[in-house]
């Protein structure tokens, strides 16, 4: 049995993309990943019950996060938007496939799903999300409260 207070992944400033709302959402995604990890207890019945309880909430949160990122990318005319959106869409499709596997009663391993989630989120933040942050840094000014102010007309502070 795993320790219920274990952290599979811990937030670090190296994951920061410099946009508070996105960093806060990334922190929440890591917290959800750690919560899933802490429910990997080796008892398939308990793990399945927990997964059924939280997966819809997790999927909804991921959709909100992706929509936030994509809205900022569109507003700032980020040239890598299309590829970034494709990564988001591929991730959502993979998660939906995992949910279908779970719902069909086929063998489902919460630990394997959690590890996938951890690897995808960390890689996505460290590589893909850093690309749009570099774009933001080129067109933004930092306000005293730490928020980025995008100078382009028709955009807002993030």
Q: Which two tokens stand for residue 50?
A: 């927990």
Number of Cβ atoms within 10 Å of the Cβ of 139: 15
Contacts of 128 (CB under 8 A, 6+ apart): 84, 87
CB 9 within 8 A of CB 122: yes
Total residue length of the chain: 158
35 or 151, greater pLDDT: 35
Torsion of CA 69, 74, 76, 80, to 10 degrees: 80
Residue matched to tokens 């936030």: 68
Whether 81 shows a pLDDT value over 90: the answer reads yes
Return the pLDDT at 88.
94
pLDDT value at residue 89? 95
- The mean pLDDT value for 65-79 works out to 91
Confidence at 138, pLDDT banded by 50, 70, 90 = confident
Tell me if residue 140 falls in helix, strand or coil.
strand
Most confident of 17-26, 46-55, 90-99, 134-143: 90-99
CA gap 143, 12 in Å, rounded: 22
pLDDT above 50 (res 3): no
Full-model pTM: 0.78
Q: Is the pLDDT of residue 61 over 80?
A: yes
The pLDDT assigned to 153 comes to 43
pLDDT band per the 50, 70, 90 thresholds, residue 1: very low
For the domain covering 18-150, report its CATH number.
1.20.120.50
Assess whether pLDDT exceeds 80 at residue 113. Answer: yes
């Amino acid at each position: 049995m795993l320790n219920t207070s274990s952290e599979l992944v811990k937030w670090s400033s190296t994951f920061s993309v410099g946009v508070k709302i996105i960093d806060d959402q990334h922190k929440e995604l890591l917290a959800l990943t750690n919560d899933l990890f802490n429910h990997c207890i080796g008892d398939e019945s308990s793990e399945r019950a927990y997964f059924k309880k939280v997966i819809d909430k997790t999927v909804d949160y991921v959709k909100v996060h992706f929509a936030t990122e994509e809205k900022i990318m569109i507003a700032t005319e980020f040239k890598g938007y299309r590829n970034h959106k494709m990564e988001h869409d591929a991730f959502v499709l993979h998660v939906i496939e995992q949910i279908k596997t779970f719902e069909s009663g086929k063998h489902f391993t919460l630990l394997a799903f959690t590890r996938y989630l951890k690897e995808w989120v960390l890689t996505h933040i460290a590589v893909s999300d850093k690309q749009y942050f570099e774009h933001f840094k080129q067109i933004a000014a930092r306000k005293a409260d730490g928020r980025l102010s995008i100078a382009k007309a028709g955009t807002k502070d993030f």
